[in-house]
Chain A
Amino acid sequence: MTDKRQVAMVIDLNKCIGCQTCTIACKTQWTNREGMEGMWWNTVSTSPGEGTPKGWEKMGGGFRKGKAQPGKLPKQGEFGTAWNFNVEEALFQGDKHDTLGPIGGDPNWGTNWDEDIGGGEYPNSFQFYIPRICNHCTKPACMEACPRGAIFKREEDGIVVINEDHCRGFRFCQEACPYKEIYYNTVTGTSQKCIMCAPRLEEGVPTACSRQCPGRVRFLGFLDDEDGPIHKLVYKYKVAMALHPEYETEPNVFYIPPLAPPSFDEEGNPIDEDRIPMDYLDSLFGPAVGPAIDLLKAEKAKKKAGGESDLMDTLIARNWLDLFGPFTTNPKDVAKTLEERVQNRQG
């Protein structure tokens, strides 16, 4: 009998550089099939900003005091349209005045439209990147909402999966998910979302977004692994926390909140005030964020003074594979075919 376990992820916003390699890794891994062109199961948005889909934090869903909350159905245009370009005309047929651009005219929104716009006023501008995937919640609002029971949470790893054979495209899940992490495939007529790279995890390989992240931003592992970095960061040091815990779905993706350089007074002198307003961080991560930031600063100061810090060493993760708990297999070493993989399991 397998124990109920939960795979979890900690994303370090101090290491995230907004490069979108995770986004692309996911795209080339799963969403390069028909009807999925506009899907980004992994996104990275600049915060503050509208995010993806546009204005998702104002779209509702999730629970309040345990009760499901109505949500808005996000539309493709809000996620960002997968523009196609007039390549043939502009490059192989056109004269020099033909402009290559999105077919259908000037776009006014896209998946990453708000990139690097940020908030505040120069020179006290502020911004940071937030990567997001499905949170594989402990209390998945999507699963609760589905009238067909087509969404299930795997016992062995807590991954929340849409059974696409059973899904009828009703999209209550899209409305109910407060993170708006579910997409609708108009070709298949089904809802689709991040599968936490279940086929990779099954082979001991980290998720594409984790393994391919050059910023070494993502810790991966089982939440109950007390020796693992995730348990340490979430429970021991309490520096990793869910995004919008008030949505009550109990996400299993956690974030190390962002530090920033000092802000300036009116004369341009650096002052001790946080560049990223604490009430803004509170609105994202809840009241635990303040103590977490204080601890991160204190531990860095300790390191700078030549001291030891298990927290800082954990976050540094000098050995890259330490990020991934039990998932350390190189994908190229996995059996190439499904048949071989099934055989390996049975043998």
Chain B
Amino acid sequence: MRVQKVNTIAEYTDPAAPGWGSVEVTEIETIPAPLGLQPTEYIQVSWEERPYGALEQASLRAVHDGTSIAIQMIWEDPQPSTGAGEGFPDGAAIAFPVHGEPELMQMGSPEAPMQFVQWQASKKQARSVLAKGIGSTLPGAAVGETATGSWSGGRWTVVFTRSLAGEGESANLVPGSNTQIGIAVWNGSNEERAGIKAVSADWTALALDR
């Protein structure tokens, strides 16, 4: 997946920004996060008979301006859930390896962590999250992360942004070089949360234009 260089990503932060029309689309396929990898027996047992992660793919576009990256993600969701009150919110995340070769399905490991930016329909602000294995997520280093979502016509369009640079335990994205991206989508109306989600089966290569 290519990340085109643009003058400024400010023109792309709106999910419906016209600029996105001219950006190349990459379809990323998703599968239900494997039940066997769910971190607790309870979750495995309670979702054994229950479908989740039904989403099959999401459409991604990405641009950067040398400082920050904006990624637009679009997926089908006929029944949006904002997570008001007791409901579970729809959500999505984009993940990058921090260092080493983290297993996406395993949410990384202490040796090979990963970082992701998460959007939830219930919250205005995006979250940066660091993961070193399933069930281990902690607040990640601040990377100027934002996420804006909008639902219409049976689908969500969310734009994530973050700075390219990342220090310490955060993914550092460098123009002109390659990294990887993974995604996850939670369908709130199906009570999807935590590891109950649709995920990209593996990393997708991400090439940032110089």
Complex A–B touching at CB under 8 A: yes
Chain A interface residues (CB < 8 Å from chain B) = 67-71, 73, 75-76, 141, 144-149, 168, 170-172, 175-176, 184, 186, 189
Q: Are A172 and B42 in contact (CB under 8 A)?
A: yes
Known contacts A148-B137, A168-B137, A189-B122; can you find 19 more A-B pairs with CB under 8 A?
A67-B45, A68-B42, A68-B45, A68-B46, A73-B191, A141-B42, A144-B40, A144-B42, A147-B38, A147-B135, A147-B194, A148-B135, A148-B194, A168-B193, A168-B194, A171-B193, A172-B40, A172-B42, A184-B86
The residues of B that contact A145 with a CB separation of less than 8 Å are 40, 42-43
Across the interface, A175 reaches (CB within 8 A) one of B42, B135, B137, namely B42
The residues of A that contact B166 with a CB separation of less than 8 Å are none
The residues of A that contact B44 with a CB separation of less than 8 Å are 68
Cα–Cα distance between A145 and B135 once the two chains are bound (Å): 11
Q: Are B45 and A149 in contact (CB under 8 A)?
A: no
Q: Are B41 and A75 in contact (CB under 8 A)?
A: no
* Interface size range on B against A: 20 to 34
> Per-residue 0/1 for B43-77: is the Cβ within 8 Å of any A Cβ (1 yes, 0 no)?
11110100000000000000000000000000000
Instruction: Closest B residue to A148 by CB, please name it.
Output: B135
Is B175 positioned at the interface, with any CB of A under 8 Å from its CB? no
A-B contact pairs, 18 of them (CB 8 A): A68-B45, A70-B45, A70-B46, A70-B48, A144-B41, A145-B40, A145-B43, A147-B40, A147-B194, A148-B135, A149-B136, A168-B194, A171-B193, A172-B40, A172-B42, A176-B42, A176-B46, A189-B122
Q: Are A172 and B45 in contact (CB under 8 A)?
A: no
Q: Are A69 and B194 in contact (CB under 8 A)?
A: no
Expressed in whole angstroms, the minimum distance between the Cβ of B145 and any Cβ of chain A is 17
Q: Are B135 and A149 in contact (CB under 8 A)?
A: yes
Q: Are A172 and B134 in contact (CB under 8 A)?
A: no
> Per-residue 0/1 for B6-40: is the Cβ within 8 Å of any A Cβ (1 yes, 0 no)?
00000000000000000000000000000000111
> Per-residue 0/1 for B174-198: is the Cβ within 8 Å of any A Cβ (1 yes, 0 no)?
0000000000000000010111000
Cα–Cα distance between A170 and B46 once the two chains are bound (Å): 14
Expressed in whole angstroms, the minimum distance between the Cβ of B135 and any Cβ of chain A is 5
Cα–Cα distance between A172 and B41 once the two chains are bound (Å): 11
Expressed in whole angstroms, the minimum distance between the Cβ of B104 and any Cβ of chain A is 17
Cα–Cα distance between A67 and B44 once the two chains are bound (Å): 11
The residues of A that contact B41 with a CB separation of less than 8 Å are 67-68, 144
Expressed in whole angstroms, the minimum distance between the Cβ of A14 and any Cβ of chain B is 36
Q: Are A76 and B86 in contact (CB under 8 A)?
A: yes
The residues of B that contact A69 with a CB separation of less than 8 Å are 45
B interface SS class:
loop
Is B154 positioned at the interface, with any CB of A under 8 Å from its CB? no
A interface SS class:
loop
Across the interface, B43 reaches (CB within 8 A) one of A73, A141, A149, A172, namely A172
Cα–Cα distance between A37 and B197 once the two chains are bound (Å): 32
Expressed in whole angstroms, the minimum distance between the Cβ of A9 and any Cβ of chain B is 25
The residues of A that contact B40 with a CB separation of less than 8 Å are 68, 144-147, 172
Cα–Cα distance between A171 and B137 once the two chains are bound (Å): 16
The residues of B that contact A170 with a CB separation of less than 8 Å are 193-194
Expressed in whole angstroms, the minimum distance between the Cβ of A73 and any Cβ of chain B is 7
Cα–Cα distance between A178 and B93 once the two chains are bound (Å): 32
Is B85 positioned at the interface, with any CB of A under 8 Å from its CB? yes
Expressed in whole angstroms, the minimum distance between the Cβ of A279 and any Cβ of chain B is 29
Cα–Cα distance between A109 and B41 once the two chains are bound (Å): 33
Instruction: Closest B residue to A74 by CB, please name it.
Output: B86
Q: Are A147 and B43 in contact (CB under 8 A)?
A: yes
The residues of B that contact A168 with a CB separation of less than 8 Å are 137, 193-194
Expressed in whole angstroms, the minimum distance between the Cβ of A83 and any Cβ of chain B is 16
Cα–Cα distance between A92 and B15 once the two chains are bound (Å): 49
Expressed in whole angstroms, the minimum distance between the Cβ of A179 and any Cβ of chain B is 15
Expressed in whole angstroms, the minimum distance between the Cβ of B68 and any Cβ of chain A is 27
Expressed in whole angstroms, the minimum distance between the Cβ of B34 and any Cβ of chain A is 14
Cα–Cα distance between A280 and B44 once the two chains are bound (Å): 33
Expressed in whole angstroms, the minimum distance between the Cβ of B91 and any Cβ of chain A is 11
Cα–Cα distance between A184 and B84 once the two chains are bound (Å): 13
Cα–Cα distance between A170 and B137 once the two chains are bound (Å): 13
Instruction: Closest B residue to A146 by CB, please name it.
Output: B40
Instruction: Closest B residue to A66 by CB, please name it.
Output: B41
Instruction: Closest B residue to A176 by CB, please name it.
Output: B42
Q: Are B86 and A147 in contact (CB under 8 A)?
A: no
Instruction: Closest B residue to A141 by CB, please name it.
Output: B42
Cα–Cα distance between A75 and B85 once the two chains are bound (Å): 10
Cα–Cα distance between A144 and B45 once the two chains are bound (Å): 12
Known: A147-B195, A148-B135. A75 touches B86 (CB 8 A): yes
The residues of A that contact B48 with a CB separation of less than 8 Å are 70
